[in-house]
Chain A
Amino acid sequence: MSLLRVIARHASRPWTRAFASESSPSFPSATGVYQVFDRAAKRKQRDRAASRDAGVGSRTVDYVRDEVADRMMERLLDIKRKFDTIVDLGSGPGHFSKLLEPEKTRKVLMIDSSEAMLNRDSDEEFEVELERVHADEENLLDVLPRNSQEAIVSCLSLHWVNDLPGVLVQIKEALKPDGLFLGAMFGGDTLFELRTALQLAEGDREGGISPHISPMTDTKDISNLLSRAGFTLLTVDIDEVCVGYPSMWELLEDLRDMGESNAVVGRRHFLHRDTLAAASAIYKELHGNEDGSVPATFQIIYMIGWKPSPNQPKALEPGSAQTNLKDVL
């Protein structure tokens, strides 16, 4: 997801103006995990998004996260258990946490790497006891001791994580046995309309393509990742949130206000205005609705996993059933 930072007129060529995204270092030193995302740029984007106009723009674009938080809450309510503390990892201002009720948990611990985003709604009332921790999701075990948590949730925060398998392992490690992980993250089909429009525009105008939309996790990889991290009793399902916009431009502006601008390492620093205009035209022709608006799809992967525990219900051995399913149905 890209762009929309207008940089100042280039001094030596006064007639040009570039539309630039946050600039990235060409390649940071790769230590250990392969770096796909520029975490520092992402933090900056989210800090800025939350602080711009005292958060007015940021609150206007809460619609995607609020909707997903709502659907995630339905899944939490299906779990008949009361928790002492729930950790909301990558909470933002608390889209999910503010829906929590005292019947479900005593306390919520919000963790986010963007301080401004974390404290955006700090004067709002929450129904349960609240603690905010400013920390990097990629180093979860720095703030949470091992075997300490009953439940960890993550609402749309894992798609900018470089080491997703590692973070899932850390989540499992931080959980007590029989602890719950409930998450929602953007899937690979998210913003495919914008992705294709930009690709075609760049192909036609400039003769090549570059990454503007982040590579998001494929749905079918998620259950593998969860079981590799050591979770059991997995539930993974997919859902879509489709939003209509007057045109591509409003979508881009909203993405920026969500703090979801492009943060892929090695991204281009700007988009030529010809390419942008071309993308807008292509978006409308290729994907536009009949009423003239354009759709944007957010694919959401919901996942539930449990940390193994000896007294947990387990799947029976295949072939050990006593009753024939045919007799029941």
Chain B
Amino acid sequence: MQTTKTSTTPLRQLALHSTTTCSSHATTYGKCILAAYTDIRKDSCKQEFEKFGQCLREAMKRKW
């Protein structure tokens, strides 16, 4: 298995930040989905994801 942590393509950046830099926000979001997974609809965990997404955008220094 190759490590993805050292490279700098945008996808690998996303991989890196979603699992390390923003891992606490990822956990909060994941737990929210876990609590609601039998009945997921659009934006079930909107607030939690917004924080996670915000963290990712800051870490990657880009908007999308």
A residues neighboring B (CB under 8 Å):
4, 6, 15-17, 19, 57, 60-61, 200-201, 203-208, 245-247, 249-250, 253-254, 273-274, 276-278, 280-282, 284-286
In the assembled complex, the Cα of A206 lies from the Cα of B44 at a distance in Å of: 10
| B18→A4 contact, CB < 8 A | no
For chain B, which range describes its interface: under 10, 10 to 19, 20 to 34, or 35 or more residues?
20 to 34
Given contacts A200-B37, A286-B30, contact A250 B1 (CB under 8 A): yes
B contact face: mostly helix, strand, loop, or mixed: helix
Q: How far is the CA of A206 from the CA of B46 in the complex (A)?
A: 11
The CB with the most chain B CB atoms within 10 A, among A200, A205, A208, A277, is that of A277
Does B1 contact A274, Cβ atoms closer than 8 Å?
A: no
> CB distance A285 to B53 under 8 Å?
no
Residue of B nearest to A18 (CB): B64
> Quick check: B10 and A17 within 8 Å, CB to CB?
yes
- Collect the chain A residues with CB atoms within 8 Å of residue B27's CB: 281, 284-285
Return B9 CB to nearest CB of chain A, in Å. 7
Q: Do the beta carbons of B45 and A245 come within 8 Å of each other?
A: no
27 contacts between A and B (CB under 8 A): A6-B9, A15-B64, A16-B64, A17-B10, A17-B64, A19-B11, A60-B2, A200-B37, A201-B33, A203-B41, A203-B42, A204-B42, A205-B42, A207-B41, A245-B1, A246-B3, A249-B4, A253-B4, A273-B14, A277-B14, A277-B18, A277-B53, A280-B18, A281-B26, A282-B29, A282-B30, A284-B27
- Residues of B close to A203: CB separation below 8 A: 40-42, 44
Q: Nearest 8 A-B pairs (CB), nearest first?
A: A285-B30, A207-B42, A249-B15, A281-B26, A203-B40, A281-B30, A277-B18, A247-B19
Chain B residues whose CB sits within 8 angstroms of the CB of A207 once the complex forms: 41-43
CA distance A273 to B30 in the complex (A): 16
* Contact between chains at A286 and B37 (CB < 8 Å): yes
CA distance A192 to B18 in the complex (A): 21
- Chain A contacts for B53, CB-based, 8 A: 274, 277
Q: Which of B29-64 contact A (CB under 8 A)?
A: 29-31, 33-34, 37, 40-45, 49, 52-53, 56, 62-64
